[in-house]
């Protein structure tokens, strides 16, 4: 991430880091205090991202769809929750804003032909050693993803089955 000074003390312009892969792009817009981490994913039609969560340095997340339409999924990984092991899914369009608490895995599939843009605000930094992935097409969960043959990252394709995952305590 690069910061460009302005003539106003303490005010500056930010150019985030942008990463490209077969699904589209992922940009780190902000990573530090006081806001911690702000990221943007721009994904192509059919892409599935997730189901992601953290077991250590876990994050509360605010997620906003700023372009396109997605099929959004929350999966409760919290052992002490009455919804443990259950998912909630719904269609979300541009303008949707939602909160994902610690211990809840999140994922989505892009349904717009022109792709989708999703922004994330995280309460903590990024710790790759803490990130976990539940397999998006786990037969136990039977999530009804709307589109067949999605574009999925190698990491997400190698996610663990729910029964073999680390749960959030």
- 3-class state of residue 127 by DSSP: coil
Q: What is the CATH number of the domain that holds 103?
A: 2.60.120.10
- Whether 66 is covered by a domain: the verdict is yes
Please give the pLDDT value at position 28: 84
Pairing between strand 116-122 and 36-43?
antiparallel
- Evaluate whether residue 113 is within a structural domain: yes
Count up the domains in the chain and report the number.
1
**Residue 79 domain-assigned?**
yes
Residue 12 within a domain: no
Question: Which residue shows structure tokens 């269609």?
Answer: 91
The answer to the question of residue 70 being in a domain is: yes
Catalogue the E-assigned strands of 16-144.
Answer: 17-21, 24-32, 36-43, 48-54, 61-67, 69-76, 87-93, 97-100, 104-110, 116-122, 131-133
169 domain residue, yes or no: no
In a domain, 136, yes or no: yes
Known catalytic residues are 52, 120
Q: Is residue 130 part of a domain?
A: yes
Q: How far apart are CA 78 and CA 81, in angstroms?
A: 5
pLDDT averaged per 10 residues, the chain (length 169) = 68 76 88 81 98 92 94 95 93 88 94 97 90 98 98 98 95
The pLDDT score that the predictor gives to residue 7 is 65
53 is in which domain, residue-wise? 2-7+17-164
- Residue among 77, 41, 58 nearest 127 (CA): 58
Q: Identify whether the C-beta of residue 142 lies closer than 8 Å to the C-beta of residue 86.
A: no
pLDDT of residue 11: 61
* pTM, 2 dp: 0.86
Neighbours of 130 (CB within 10 A): 15
């Amino acid at each position: 991430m690069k910061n460009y000074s302005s003539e106003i003390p303490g005010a500056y312009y930010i150019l985030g880091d942008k990463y490209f892969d077969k699904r589209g792009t992922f940009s780190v817009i902000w990573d530090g205090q006081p806001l911690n981490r702000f990221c943007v994913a721009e994904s192509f039609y059919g892409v599935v991202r997730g189901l992601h969560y953290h077991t250590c340095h876990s994050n509360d997340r605010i997620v906003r769809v700023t372009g396109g339409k997605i099929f959004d999924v929350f999966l409760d990984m919290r052992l002490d929750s009455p919804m443990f092991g259950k998912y909630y899914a719904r269609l979300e369009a541009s303008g949707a804003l939602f909160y994902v608490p610690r211990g809840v895995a999140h994922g989505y599939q892009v349904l717009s032909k022109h792709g989708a843009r999703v922004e994330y605000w995280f309460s903590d930094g990024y710790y790759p050693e803490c990130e976990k992935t539940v397999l998006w097409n786990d037969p136990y969960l039977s999530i009804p993803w709307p589109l067949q043959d999605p574009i999925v990252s190698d990491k997400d394709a190698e996610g663990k089955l729910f029964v073999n995952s680390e749960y959030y305590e």
